Amino acid sequence: MNQFELLTILPGTLTEDEVRAVNSTVTSMIKEKGAQTVESEEMGKRRLAYPMKKIRYGYYQSFIFDLPREVVAELQKRLLLLPEVLRFMIQGFSPEKRAAKRQWQERRASSAIHTGGDGTRAMADKTEAGVSPSESFARASESASLEQTAKKEERGHVDMKEIDKKLDEILDSSLTDV
């Protein structure tokens, strides 16, 4: 038996009771196919990436279960017949990959991005001791402004006559090639 994860999206127009009823129907369908354990996790109501059947919000639900690979196709056919399910996806499940993904998400959540009024961005680590996010942002915006002034000084002064001269040379050379 292989472990699988099923993600379903139900319309946001359903009530909480209707969502529970559909989720219990899906759970019973999975158990009918021979799964002994079915873990389910409600992921809540979220905005969809794009409207589906003129619906902008949906209830996300995740199911983890053990089934033989041959039975998964039959389960997919049964899920297609449920009119309440907007979309679903069945994929192989690996607990190790999920643990690694959660660790990555926790590390990502522990750092915050601060944006200044001039559009510059600074990354501040929340766990950094002794430095507040505003101080970190001030340091980063200072260094960004110093870099910008250094780049301007490197460029030097450009004369418009020199630019015109170079353009004329380029255009003349392209005309002689034709």
Query: What is the rounded distance in angstroms from the CA atom of residue 21 to the CA atom of residue 23?
Result: 5
Q: Are residues 80 and 19 in the same domain?
A: yes
What is the C-alpha to C-alpha distance for residues 150 and 28, in angstroms, rounded to an integer?
Answer: 67
Please check whether residues 22 and 88 belong to one and the same domain: yes
3-state secondary structure 6-27: EEEEEECCCCHHHHHHHHHHHH
142 and 87, same domain (yes or no): no
Q: pTM, whole model, 2 decimals?
A: 0.56
Query: Same domain for 71 and 141?
Result: no
Any domain includes 66: yes
Q: What does the alpha-carbon distance between residue 50 and residue 87 come to, in Å, rounded to a whole number?
A: 12
Q: What is the CATH number of the domain that holds 7?
A: 3.30.70.60
* Burial state string for 36-47 with b = 16 or more CB within 10 A and e = fewer than 16: eebebeeeeeee
Question: Cβ atoms within 10 A of the Cβ of 26, count?
Answer: 24
Statement to judge: residues 57 and 19 lie in one domain: yes
Q: What is the pLDDT of residue 125?
A: 46
Distance between CA 97 and CA 117 in Å, rounded? 39
Instruction: Determine the pLDDT at residue 130.
Output: 54
Of 25, 60, 94, the domain-final residue: 94
Q: Are residues 7 and 65 in the same domain?
A: yes
Domains held by the chain: number: 2
The DSSP call for residue 15 is: -
Nearest CA among 163, 126, 123 for reference residue 141: 123
For every one of its 178 residues, what pLDDT tens digit does the chain have, with 9 covering 90 and above? 789 999 999 999 999 999 999 999 999 999 999 888 888 999 999 999 999 999 999 999 999 999 998 999 999 999 999 999 999 999 998 878 777 777 888 888 876 555 555 555 555 444 445 555 556 555 666 666 666 666 655 666 678 888 888 888 888 876 666 5
8 with 81, same domain: the answer is yes
Q: What is the distance, to the nearest Å, from the Cα of residue 39 to the centroid of all Cα atoms in its chain? A: 24
Q: Return the pLDDT at 37.
A: 81
Domain of 27? 2-94
C-alpha to C-alpha distance for 58 and 47, rounded to whole angstroms:
6
Same domain for 88 and 14: yes
Find the radius of gyration of the CA atoms of the chain. Answer: 29
* Same structural domain, 65 and 129: no
Say yes or no: 26 and 67 in one domain: yes
One-letter identity of residue 160: M
Single-letter residue type at 142: E
